[in-house]
Amino acid sequence: MKNLLSGKIYWVQDDFSYNSFYDPKKGETLHISTGVDNVLIDENMIKFSTLPIKNISNEIESYNVNLIINEHGIDYSGTFANTEDRDWSGPVTCELYENKKAYFLFGKWTESEFLFTWWAKINKTIILK
């Protein structure tokens, strides 16, 4: 039996790091969300899988994400890989925050030369499988 966490992930196309003012016109940005499953978080790494989702081309995709903490012990970086096509991959970075009930990940995701801001809320409630 494994102790697995789950939650939800969101992507917004563009850089929403709040370092500068950005006001996209209606229809210029893209927002996608799905569930995350099989989440493992420890002091050195974060791993999770996304549930299947339709992309903008109406194809079903899901991803595996592997992140490792940096040498300063603050940010995580790594890659995502499409579960059906491992050559479809790209860089992912995030910061990890937590409270008593959940983890919160916030970072950047680059896919096909498009930059996405992403975040995920991972519930600390354990699901036994």
Of residues 54 and 92, more confidence is placed in 92
Evaluate if residue 18 carries a pLDDT over 70.
no
d(C-alpha 8, C-alpha 6), whole Å: 7
Q: Among 30-34, 76-80, 121-125, whose mean pLDDT is lowest?
A: 30-34
| pLDDT at res. 28 | 57
Answer whether 105's CB lies under 8 Å from 95's CB.
yes
pLDDT reading at 95 higher than 60: yes
- pLDDT category at 1 given cuts 50, 70, 90 is very low
How many C-beta atoms lie closer than 10 Å to residue 5's C-beta?
Answer: 19
Q: What span, in angstroms and rounded, lies between the C-alpha atoms of 119 and 17? A: 11
User: pLDDT, tens digit, for every residue of 35-90?
Assistant: 999 999 988 999 999 999 987 778 899 999 999 999 888 899 999 999 988 888 99
For the chain, which domains are there? 3-128 (2.40.160)
CA 128 – CA 120 distance, rounded (Å): 21
2 pLDDT band, cuts 50/70/90, is: low
87-101: average pLDDT: 94
Give CA–CA dist 112/19, Å, rounded.
Answer: 23
